[in-house]
Amino acid sequence: MERLYFACFGLLMVTTIAKAQVYVSPDSYIFVNDRMVFVNQDINLDKVGAVEGNIYLRDEAMLLQGASTVVSTNRGAGTLSVFQEGTVNNFAYNYWCSPVGNASAATGNENFKVSMLHRPTTTTASTPAVMLGAGVFDGVANPLRIADRWAFKFVSSSTYAQWVPVPGGAALPNIEPGIGYTLKGSGTAVNDLTFSDNGQANNPGSRQRYDFRGKPNDGNITVFVGAGLRTLTGNPYPSAIDLRAFLMAATNTTQVAYFWEQDPTTNSHLIASYRGGYGSYSPLAAGGVTDPTYGYMGVYNPPTFYAYDGAGTQLGATGTGTPFERRFCPIGQGFMIEGAAGGNVTMSNNYRVYIKEGTFSDFNRPADVNEGTSEHTSSTGFLPPIQSVAGWDYTTVSTAPAPQIKFQTLLNNTGVKETTLVMIDGASDGAESGMDAKSPDQTDIDMYFVLDNAQYVISVIDFDVNKKVPVGFKANVPASFRIKATEMINFSEAENVYLHDKLTDMYYDIKNSDYEFTLPAGTNDTQYEITFVDGLLGTSDELAADAFAILQNNDRQMLTVSNPGSIDIKSVTLFDITGKQIFTKTKLGAKTSYEFPTSGLAESIYVVKVVTTDNKQFAKKISVFEKGK
């Protein structure tokens, strides 16, 4: 890959301009196509009257600046221009973070506003987007008209009401460097075919192309986040960044990034019609490790899509999101972070890399299927050489995914919740920053890992076949849950995966089939756990399905246990659906039939468990209701 390096070039020009390493005079430009340009120090894009100097980054070209820069000294009213495409239509949100700010003669990074976005008309020419204001709901591609009523930022906040409008029509730029913002797409009512970049029009299938024009962001960029609160931030540079490296250094956060995804088929501006949620990226870096070339690429847990009421409160689950590659964050990508302690996090040039979108870097879209890539493509091998400001050797980084098990739980026959159990040597059983990821959503019906009395969607453990992993379920109404271990990725040490009901002491194989059960309203964080062996004998030892016949006769209010094989029975126990023991009968012998009265039981679902004298077990649910119902 050719690298344009301006250190020597800038020194040659110092004699004629005021100390800028790269100076672009009015009516001049630097055009960079399909490669990276590196500037060790500062850039001056000059402007006189309406004539300005420009840098054009095209076909995934990027600008990287020196590691020694702490405070940016970029200046000039000329502009850098770089393209990025959205992924949604006019009803859904992308989360953005601008790579540029206002271009003025002042020195350093400046604020951005949405009206600084442009629509490309030729390779170098663009026209400013028109802001439609608060009264218009839908944007249009050509001419580019943006419904800026959907532009918001979210800084150190926790509730839906704390989203702050950042309209493009504001008098002054209103989005600080490093602060992310939301924006809906432009729609497809009038597609824009006036310009194509690599054969793609400005708005193919609602993937609106925006031309970010302004002063390039550079140097250290600080973003505030409060303890237990979230801030929408993102990649603030005109280059990709190593997101894992940033999170590893952001020690006053939970060191997890959350990415918004939205169901593209729900075409409505009503909040009550929204279907979306947050996916979670963990860098899998614990114990103060700061070298991003050490360890795994990280792990991403796709979101559950939830419905919302008119106030933005989450309701029931409706679907699930898509696997993405998140290790490297492309130009313009926004994401949420959560504070572990109040204070600033710092983006720096050290995290800047040159890697194109595709296999390992995605702007909220799966890798291009034409490239043959997917979430788990690179099960062997190492990263290719990647040019970086910090000089990290990425060729030592294995692309093999971390050993993991993916679980999917159908929540009350609505949406699917995905959770990820990762196996890394030396990981603890408790919550670790940079490893385990808290559940990003608070919804009424949910499934999660229980770590330190909190809810998590990613749990990282040091695997042992006898390990027990607590899981929790909650519901605001009686609800069903159907759980299965759907994928075992780069992991073969567990022959079996069980859901263990600790109250009934039943083990359910969820590797080879799913297990469905119903729980009453409430939070249940202690009854269930994931195990890898059957706890009775270390192996699965349930009786055949026809060993016993269990029948509840509600007319007679009688429970019958038939024992056609005259098996010697140690005990028969009845549990309610919460696992509470209703009765147990022992030393029953080997009779062919047993009856137990149920006249005093409340209407509900119950579990009958039969244990034989050789400790084999059989269980079945029964339904008790009043006669005539």
Decide if 474 contacts 524 (C-beta within 8 A): yes
Residue 628 pLDDT exceeds 90:
no
Phi, psi for 132 (deg, rounded to 5): -90, -15
Report the pLDDT value the prediction gives residue 186, as an integer from 0 to 100.
86
Range 15-40 average pLDDT: 83
378: confidence class by pLDDT, cuts 50, 70, 90: very low
Residue 334 pLDDT exceeds 90:
yes
Between strands 79-85 and 196-197, the pairing is: unpaired
349 three-class SS: helix
Poorest-confidence range of 265-269, 330-334, 606-610? Answer: 265-269
Number of domains in the chain: 3
Structure tokens at 547: 């060993």
**Which of 531, 558, 593 finishes a domain?**
531
Report the pLDDT value the prediction gives residue 369, as an integer from 0 to 100.
31
41-79 tens-digit pLDDT:
999 999 999 999 999 999 999 999 998 889 999 999 999
One domain, residues 154 and 99: yes
One domain, residues 209 and 323: no
Identify whether 187 is part of a domain.
Answer: yes
Instruction: Label residue 442 exposed, middle or buried (CB < 10 Å: 0-12, 13-18, 19+).
Output: exposed
Q: On the CB side of 567, how many CA atoms lie within 13 Å of its CA?
A: 24
Residue 177 to residues 99, 104, 140, 181, 276, Cα–Cα distance (Å) = 8, 15, 27, 11, 27
Instruction: Report which of residues 289 and 7 the model is more confident about.
Output: 289
Q: What contacts 37, CB < 8 A, 6 or more positions away?
A: 4, 5, 6, 30, 55, 57, 61, 62, 63, 64
Which CATH number goes with the domain that contains 619? 2.60.40.3080
Report the pLDDT value the prediction gives residue 147, as an integer from 0 to 100.
95
Structure tokens at 449: 């890992």
Identify whether 100 is part of a domain.
Answer: yes
One domain, residues 397 and 448: yes
Identify whether 357 is part of a domain.
Answer: yes
Instruction: Label residue 495 exposed, middle or buried (CB < 10 Å: 0-12, 13-18, 19+).
Output: exposed
Phi, psi for 302 (deg, rounded to 5): -60, 155
Phi, psi for 551 (deg, rounded to 5): -135, 130
172-182 tens-digit pLDDT:
999 999 999 99
Identify whether 11 is part of a domain.
Answer: no
**Which residues sit opposite 196 in a β-bridge?**
201
One domain, residues 174 and 97: yes
One domain, residues 484 and 427: yes
One domain, residues 466 and 522: yes
495-543 tens-digit pLDDT:
999 999 998 888 999 999 999 999 999 999 999 999 999 865 444 456 7
Decide if 478 contacts 519 (C-beta within 8 A): yes
Range 148-174 average pLDDT: 95
Between strands 62-65 and 36-39, the pairing is: parallel
Structure tokens at 295: 């360890």
Range 287-301 average pLDDT: 88
Parent domain of 553: 549-624
Poorest-confidence range of 47-51, 180-184, 213-217, 573-577? Answer: 573-577
One domain, residues 260 and 408: yes
Residue 259 to residues 101, 139, 230, Cα–Cα distance (Å) = 23, 23, 12
Instruction: Report which of residues 6 and 579 the model is more confident about.
Output: 579
One domain, residues 408 and 469: yes
Report the pLDDT value the prediction gives residue 407, as an integer from 0 to 100.
97
Query: Which of 73, 6, 9 shows the shortest CA–CA distance to 44?
Result: 73
One domain, residues 480 and 619: no
224-269 tens-digit pLDDT:
999 999 999 999 999 999 999 999 999 999 999 999 988 877 888 8
One domain, residues 400 and 494: yes
One domain, residues 312 and 280: yes
Q: What contacts 598, CB < 8 A, 6 or more positions away?
A: 552, 557, 558, 559, 624
One domain, residues 459 and 324: yes
Q: On the CB side of 317, how many CA atoms lie within 13 Å of its CA?
A: 29
Residue 614 to residues 503, 539, 549, Cα–Cα distance (Å) = 20, 14, 19
Identify whether 442 is part of a domain.
Answer: yes
Identify whether 158 is part of a domain.
Answer: yes
Report the pLDDT value the prediction gives residue 205, as an integer from 0 to 100.
63
CA distance 160 to 154: 9
The structure's pTM equals 0.84
186 three-class SS: coil
